[in-house]
């Protein structure tokens, strides 16, 4: 299925892109995250939450087709 | 009363606010933690709008490197505690409100009792330890939390613990690995970004007090000032995370948030103290080309990048004092030394620049 993935903050630096279209057979969020960490090794040292269609979800969430995925890291600065 | 009416005239004539709204603002008590990049615009707009009671917590002093974004301060504020300097400037902006400065560090010991004196808590801090402390103290004291944070050109805003909404821990239950998310001091920040995010936080405070619009509760707002794009994400309340914090209420004062966030207690000494310490070994972790050299301390030169390979040249028996140019790399060096079994290690605040000034001022030669 086709996913639109957005990377925020330091995750965009780790992947060197802020957004991409990805064709994948991953079906849960944890499977997708594992796949992305293999594709972008620098993501392995980062912490982030995943949102599907603007809704924060947990790792066991099942991804349906045609969705927008966002990877959200915590920010500390002020 | 005349001055009251004229001062707030432009907002009181908004039918959504009116004099009833202005009275609500006057009756409200807001605590802002951190009077830095986010805290400055938050404080300026809240004071200007006529919030009746404002508390400011900050233990840090104004540094010249703050002024490109912390525009509440001027060069006459340099070296002054931020809570006190902010109070002075805000009192000039609006002498009709009550401002209390707390020139101290927020800790698990003082947080809950301090929060209980205010209606809304605003997080303008710059580190995870304090952010988790604020969130948890808000859960225990049952106060809404207006949150904002920045990273380079991006910012986050949310309102936590508002009308049974989610908290920061429902979004990020655990802090990230220590050192994995760099600070503004390490990677820089565009001055206007905390201005935008802090102003949005002030706006959420006013919306809560006035009962206007949709409060950003249960939502995470993300903004990118380069693409000018924003996104809003929905966050759900996670009951198990909140009850864990509630269960810690009785032992809250003993929780070590630095430890929780993996931050080691780094001993920091001033340049002045460093020049008077005897029998210490000094390590300059700057690159070899960096100036000024501090020959007076007779340091061992080991650039940070090769520190781990050259540990054998440093004695574990002696007191070790590390410095770099300004005091950022030396903190990393202290962490590396701690990890490798060195115990009596500290670093110099302000680094070689502070040392150079201290040595020049006291006419020490070398």
Per DSSP, the residues of B122-165 read EE--SSHHHHHHHHHHHHHHT--EEEEEEETTEEEEEEESSTT-
Q: Do domains B2-260 and B267-361 have the same CATH topology?
A: no
Q: What was the pLDDT predicted at B3?
A: 57
Q: Do residues B323 and B351 touch, judged by C-beta distance below 8 A?
A: yes
List the domain boundaries for chain B.
2-260, 267-361
Write the residue in B34, B154, B174 that is nearest to A78 by C-beta: B34
Residue ranges, chain B, pLDDT below 50: 1-2, 365-366
The residue among B364, B362, B287 whose CA lies nearest residue B325 is: B287
Q: What was the pLDDT predicted at B328?
A: 87
Q: What was the pLDDT predicted at B1?
A: 45
pTM for the model: 0.81
* Domain B267-361, CATH homologous superfamily name and number: Rhodanese-like domain (3.40.250.10)
Q: Do residues B125 and B213 touch, judged by C-beta distance below 8 A?
A: no
Write the residue in B123, B175, B233 that is nearest to A56 by C-beta: B233
Which CATH number is correct for B2-260, 3.40.50.720, 3.30.70.260, 3.40.50.970, 3.30.1960.10? 3.40.50.720
Separation between Cα atoms, residue B329 and residue B327, nearest integer Å: 6
Chain B positions in Cβ-Cβ contact with residue A18 (cut-off 8 Å): 227
The CA distance from A46 to the nearest CA of chain B, in Å, is 7
Q: What was the pLDDT predicted at B364?
A: 60
Q: What was the pLDDT predicted at B309?
A: 92
- Give A52-76 pLDDT, tens digit per residue: 999 999 999 999 877 899 999 999 9
Separation between Cα atoms, residue B302 and residue B307, nearest integer Å: 6
Confirm whether the ipTM is greater than 0.85.
yes
Fold for domain A2-72?
Ubiquitin-like (UB roll) (3.10.20)
- Give B135-170 pLDDT, tens digit per residue: 999 999 999 999 999 999 999 999 999 999 999 999
Q: What is the mean pLDDT of residues A22-38?
A: 91
Q: Do residues B117 and B28 touch, judged by C-beta distance below 8 A?
A: no
The strands making up B280-284's β-sheet, listed across from edge to edge, are B267-269, B345-348, B319-323, B280-284, B300-301
Chain B positions in Cβ-Cβ contact with residue A75 (cut-off 8 Å): 149-151, 154-156, 181
- Give B289-327 pLDDT, tens digit per residue: 999 999 999 999 999 999 999 999 999 888 899 999 998
List the domain boundaries for chain A.
2-72
Chain B positions in Cβ-Cβ contact with residue A74 (cut-off 8 Å): 128, 149, 172, 175-176, 181
Please determine, for residue A46, whether its predicted confidence score (pLDDT) is greater than 50.
Answer: yes
- Classify residue A45 by its DSSP letter: G
Q: How many CB pairs under 8 A join A and B?
A: 90
- Show Cβ contacts of residue A22 under 8 Å, excluding neighbours closer than 6 positions: A2, A3, A4, A5
Q: What was the pLDDT predicted at B276?
A: 85
């Amino acid at each position: 299925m086709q996913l639109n993935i957005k990377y925020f903050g330091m995750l965009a630096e780790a992947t060197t892109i802020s957004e991409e279209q990805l064709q994948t057979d991953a079906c849960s969020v944890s499977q997708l995250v594992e796949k992305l960490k293999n594709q972008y090794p620098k993501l392995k040292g980062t912490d982030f939450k995943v949102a599907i269609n603007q809704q924060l979800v947990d790792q066991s969430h099942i991804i349906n087709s045609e969705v927008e995925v966002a990877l959200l890291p915590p920010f500390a600065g002020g | 009363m005349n001055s009251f009416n004229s001062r707030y005239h432009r907002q009181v004539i908004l039918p959504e606010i009116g004099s009833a709204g202005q009275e609500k603002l006057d009756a409200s008590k807001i605590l802002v933690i951190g009077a830095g990049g986010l805290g400055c615009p938050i404080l300026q707009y809240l004071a200007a709008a006529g919030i009746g009671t404002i508390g400011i917590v900050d233990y840090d002093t104004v540094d010249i490197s703050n002024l490109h974004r912390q525009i509440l301060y001027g060069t006459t504020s340099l070296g002054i505690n931020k809570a006190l300097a902010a109070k002075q400037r805000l009192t000039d902006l609006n002498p009709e409100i009550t401002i209390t400065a707390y020139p101290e560090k927020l800790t698990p010991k003082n947080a809950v009792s301090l929060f209980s004196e205010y209606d809304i808590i605003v997080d303008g801090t710059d580190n995870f330890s304090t952010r988790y402390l604020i969130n948890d103290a808000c859960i225990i004291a049952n106060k809404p939390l207006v949150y904002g944070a920045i990273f380079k050109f991006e910012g986050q805003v949310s309102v936590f613990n508002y009308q049974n909404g989610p908290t920061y821990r429902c979004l990020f239950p655990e802090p990230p690995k220590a050192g994995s998310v760099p600070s503004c001091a390490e990677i820089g920040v565009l001055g206007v970004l905390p201005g935008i995010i802090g102003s949005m936080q002030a706006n959420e405070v006013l919306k809560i007090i006035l009962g206007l619009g949709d409060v950003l509760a249960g939502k995470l707002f993300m903004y990118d000032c380069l693409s000018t794009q924003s996104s809003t994400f929905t966050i759900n309340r996670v009951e198990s995370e909140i009850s864990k914090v509630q269960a810690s209420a009785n032992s809250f004062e003993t929780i070590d948030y630095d430890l929780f966030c993996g931050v080691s207690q780094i001993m920091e000494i001033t340049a002045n103290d460093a020049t008077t310490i005897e029998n210490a070994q000094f390590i300059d972790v700057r690159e070899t080309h960096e100036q000024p050299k501090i020959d007076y301390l007779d340091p061992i030169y080991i650039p940070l990048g090769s520190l781990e390979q050259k540990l054998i040249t440093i004695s574990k028996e002696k007191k070790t004092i590390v410095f770099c140019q300004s005091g950022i790399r030396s903190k990393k060096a202290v962490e590396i030394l701690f990890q490798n079994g060195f115990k009596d290690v500290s670093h110099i605040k302000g680094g070689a620049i502070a040392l150079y000034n201290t040595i020049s001022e006291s006419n020490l030669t070398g």
